Amino acid sequence: MIPDESLPPIAAGSGRAEVIVDEAPMSGRFNMAMDAAMLELGATRDVSVIRIYRWCEPTVSLGYFQGAGVQHESPFPGLPTVRRLSGGGAILHDLEITYSCTLPASHPVRQDPSELYGVIHRSLIKLLRECGAKCLLRSDFDANQAAKLRAGEKSGNENARPNAEPFLCFLRSNPNDIVHERGTKIVGSAQRRRKGITLQHGSILLSASNVCPTVEGIRQLSHEFDIARFYTGLPGGIAASIEREWTIRPYSDLERSISSEFLSNPA
């Protein structure tokens, strides 16, 4: 059973959010350069900016703090590789939707940026459930499994986790993850903070990639999942969780200009 009490009221800021839905799948380099532009411009804005985007080809993104030599350990050596601004493990971006959310220093979440994981993930859980995916926070899943063990039941997840941290983010475990009711991770997020600005990335795994078919997505776990409904509700679902008012807009000329500079001069 998935308890509704695991979804407390969502705290929004008092300002507004601007949402950019990138309808055309783009390259990994473009996606990372645009998020870098959003983080840089965040210091000049008093609005939150959300991007919803996809990838035009299977691409591996490395977490910001993964070692410089980690690409040699990648199980996908032939794929394009980029480095994210946020931390965490590597992500194989293919059959998924990615969001990024940049909050200004004036947003109340600055007092505890880690709260943003719960704020956004609770909104995603609500939408995922409405679209047919039975899911919950990993912290709630783990608590449920512990309760079953205390009651003498098998948890259904008895395999011990490896001591070495997996290369892929979706094989790692964090209390803030969103997992299917069976315990499989379907959404993971990570942050980068700079001068009071918070950038959070999140990967929503819709389906297993042909490149890595053993990592299941929502479609393999919830066969009745309504992807079209989910995609339509996603922009407003995230935006309403962090601000009271929101609008959808295209990229600005300044955003395109700064992202082009990052593309030309990658860090």
Q: What is the pLDDT of residues 100-123, one digit of tens each?
A: 999 999 999 888 988 999 999 999
159 band by pLDDT with thresholds 50, 70 and 90: very low
- Nearest 5°: phi and psi at 128? -60, -40
The residues pairing with 204 across neighbouring beta strands, listed in sequence order, are 97, 187
C-alpha 246/C-alpha 228 separation (Å) is: 21
Burial 146-173 (b: 16+ CB within 10 A, else e): eeeeeeeeeeeeeeeeeeeeebbbbbbe
Task: Respond yes or no: is residue 169 known to be catalytic.
Answer: yes
- Spot the catalytic one: 101, 131, 135, 169: 169
What confidence score (pLDDT) does residue 15 get?
Answer: 81
Highest mean pLDDT out of 75-84, 113-122, 171-180: 113-122
Looking at the predicted structure, is the pLDDT value of residue 99 above 60?
yes
Task: State the maximum Cα–Cα separation within the chain, in Å, rounded to a whole number.
Answer: 61
Query: Quick one: average pLDDT of 174-184?
Result: 93
172 band by pLDDT with thresholds 50, 70 and 90: confident
The residues pairing with 89 across neighbouring beta strands, listed in sequence order, are none
Enumerate the domain spans of the chain: 14-135+187-262
- Considering the domain 14-135+187-262 in this protein, what is its CATH number? 3.30.930.10
